[in-house]
Structures are given as structure tokens and as C-alpha cells.
Amino acid sequence: MRQGKKVISILTGSGISQASGIPTFRDGGDALWKNYKASICATSGGWEDDENMFRGFWKDVEDYFTKEFPKPNQAHHLIKNLEDFCKERDEDFHLMTTNIDRLHEDSGVRKVIKIHGDVYKRRRIYQTDENNKVKFDFEIPNVVLFGENKRYTQKCYEIAYYSDLFIVVGSSLLTGELSLLEQAKKRGARLIEINPNPVIQCPFDERYTMSAIDGLIELMRKENYV
């Protein structure tokens, strides 16, 4: 981040990808967790309680993303347009996401900070017992589980610290990102939420209680990023 430059930051969550057909993990009839226990399939060490459920869930997730191959929707392209406008205005632009898809990258955004990892990459689960005998040895998508540290935490707090405008799109802020908003607010940033289901506990300055697409269109018109 460059001193004296206006800093525009965006945090996106699963709500931005719904229009691309990607179900959320938590909510709705098509939620990815509806047939699984999050305490097992989305939690570090969950494989010890039920390896079949844990591995089955992540196979379903991986199969969905590799077979359905979702495409960016208008909301992703609007954020790409916002990045371009910021570049034209010589403003700093930062995009963070809790999503594990690659729709921001596929829309052409230059750099995305992926707080929860990437479903298209892989990681190894390897665990031995007290006798050094292998108990578990398998691979899953390279994503963050409950109980594990999120990625790029220091970088995200630095971005929040220097932000002049911090926009949250389609995120419930239930996995700890609320602290980023609190950090930005302390430094005087203007906070904007785009979400059909507002996060009440966060002190946003403005709310667009609508879909990611409609909210981004309204915001960009109001801010003259068109």
C-alpha cells in the first residue's frame, strides 16, 4: 500500500457465488453441509471421529467444483470493473475472499487473497499413532478447516488498517472476519455491506440489503465507478 493513495478494500463471501450456482455451506436447502455434520467434515481432526464421512464430504465438494465447473457471474465481473476503475484513478485496490472457488480469478481480477484456501489445490492429511504407525494418510482439497489458522491473516489486518473504504459482499462474517471490520472502523474507514441478510452486529455505515449483483450495481453508480 502506498502512502497518500486512497485504499479500496473488498471482502467477499459465499453470497457472491450463489448466482453462479455454487451452494453455500451453511444455509438453504442445497447447502453443502445438509447431509453432513460440520463438526466432523469441516473440522480439523474430524477424520478421527468418522473418516468415511469426512472423506466423503470433501470428495463431494471436489467433484462438484471439477465436474460442474461454475463460471463467474455479473457480481464477479463488477468487482473486476471496480479494480480497473481504481487503477485508472490511481487508487489502491485489495480483494479478500473466504470463498474456495476461483471465480474471482476467472473474472480477471489480478490478485485475490484467499483466506480459506483453494478447492482446486490439494493437501495431505498424515497422522501417526504413539508407535509411529500410520493412522491416516489421504488427500483433500487445500482448504482451511475449523480449528486451523486462516491464511494471510497479517496481510488482511494490514489491508483493513489502511482502508479508506471497506466493502463486504455476501458474507455472514461468521468465521472471524468481523474483527477486520472493527480494525478498519477504528482507523476511520467507511464500511459498506451488500447482503440480503444483514449482519446486525457489525457497525456498517451503509447497507445495501439486496443481492451481490444488484448491490454492486447500486454502489458503483453512487460512487461514480461507472
pLDDT tens digits, residue range 98-141? 999 999 999 999 999 999 999 999 999 999 999 999 999 999 99
Output the pLDDT for position 189: 95
Mean pLDDT, the chain, rounded, equals 90
Output the pLDDT for position 28: 52
Nine cell digits for residue 48: 478421527
Distance, CA of 207 to CA of 74 (rounded, Å): 20
How many residues appear in the chain?
226
Output the pLDDT for position 200: 83
Output the pLDDT for position 223: 84
Mean pLDDT across the stretch 69-98?
A: 95
pLDDT in tens, 33-73: 667 788 899 999 999 999 999 999 999 888 888 887 889 99
Catalytic positions, written as ranges: 116
Pick the closest to residue 193 from 184, 203, 183 (CA basis).
203
Secondary structure (3-state) at 93: strand
Secondary structure (3-state) at 67: helix
Output the pLDDT for position 37: 85
Distance, CA of 205 to CA of 2 (rounded, Å): 25
Any idea which of 13-17, 36-40, 84-88, 205-209 has the lowest mean pLDDT? 36-40
Output the pLDDT for position 63: 87
Helix (H) or strand (E) holding 45: none
